[in-house]
């Protein structure tokens, strides 16, 4: 009986010891697997953090480049504004010097009532030619020594662009006559068209429109 009990105790101890060893081995194995996963996750986390850091660096560099570009654009804008201001000032000085160096010698207005252009016509009438001849005679000097400014004006019948073109054609007709009939150098004749922009009378009446259809010729010393 005692031998049987002893044998049973020994067997139970052996079984218990074997089970404990198996459990420890299992735990060690699982712990190792967990450690491996932790290591892997840590590595991926470090890579992610590194990529985030690289993205932040690139974003910072891009931001610096954008700020630098904005600064250059602002500087260019300031330079352009300064250049425009200087150009405007130079233009005004040139105009002032030009105006100071010249004075009005003679002026004649050729409207329809004074033999000027008829409605919608660009051919220089004979009466207008005679008036220009008189201007040259009245100067009592060589017409090559003066500057001519010729303005073309129209009434408001028709569109603005058409009237501007019509006024220019009339001014050019006067310029051609001064050059061909009186040998006035072309570089001393300036022409401009104001079209319907500067009426001297009301365009609501026939008489007013005929007065607005005019050529203004100025002679400057």
Tell whether 110 and 138 lie within a shared domain: yes
Q: Are residues 66 and 48 in the same domain?
A: yes
What's this model's pTM, rounded to 2 decimal places?
Answer: 0.51
Same domain for 2 and 96: yes
Given 101, 125, 152, the domain boundary residue is: 101
Count of structural domains, the chain: 2
Where do we find the tokens 């006067």? 174
Give the closest residue to 203 by CA, choosing from 214, 194, 212: 212
Whose CA is closest to 149, among 174, 129, 122, 131?
Answer: 174
Per-residue pLDDT in tens (0 to 9) along the chain, 221 residues: 545 444 444 444 444 545 545 565 655 666 566 556 646 656 676 776 777 777 667 767 767 776 777 777 676 667 656 556 655 664 555 455 455 556 777 788 887 766 566 666 777 777 888 888 888 887 766 556 789 999 999 989 889 999 999 999 989 999 999 999 988 899 999 999 999 999 999 999 988 888 888 899 998 87
Let me know whether 209 and 113 are in one domain.
yes
Q: Give the model's pLDDT for residue 36.
A: 64
Query: What domain range includes position 185?
Result: 103-220
Q: Pairing relation of β-strands 189-195 and 214-220? A: unpaired
Of the residues 101, 135, 168, the one at which a domain ends = 101
């Amino acid at each position: 009986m005692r031998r049987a009990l002893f044998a049973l105790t020994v067997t139970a101890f052996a079984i218990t010891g074997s089970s404990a060893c198996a459990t420890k081995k299992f735990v060690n194995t699982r712990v190792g697997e967990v450690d491996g996963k932790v290591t892997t996750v840590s590595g991926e986390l470090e890579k992610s953090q590194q990529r985030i850091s690289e993205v932040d660096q690139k974003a910072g560099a891009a931001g610096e480049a954008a700020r630098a570009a904005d600064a250059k654009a602002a500087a260019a804008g300031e330079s352009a504004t300064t250049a425009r201001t200087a150009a405007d000032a130079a233009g005004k000085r040139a105009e002032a010097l030009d105006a100071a160096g010249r004075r009005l010698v003679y002026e004649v207005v050729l409207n329809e009532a004074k033999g000027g252009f008829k409605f919608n016509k660009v051919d220089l009438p004979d009466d207008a030619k005679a008036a220009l001849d008189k201007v040259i005679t009245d100067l009592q000097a060589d017409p090559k020594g003066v500057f001519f400014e010729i303005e073309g004006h129209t009434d408001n019948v028709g569109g603005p662009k058409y009237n501007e073109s019509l006024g220019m054609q009339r001014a050019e007709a006067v310029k051609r006559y001064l050059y061909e009939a009186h040998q006035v150098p072309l570089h001393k004749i300036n022409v401009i068209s104001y079209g319907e922009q500067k009426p001297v009378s009301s365009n609501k009446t026939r008489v007013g429109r005929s007065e607005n259809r005019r050529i203004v010729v100025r002679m400057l010393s």
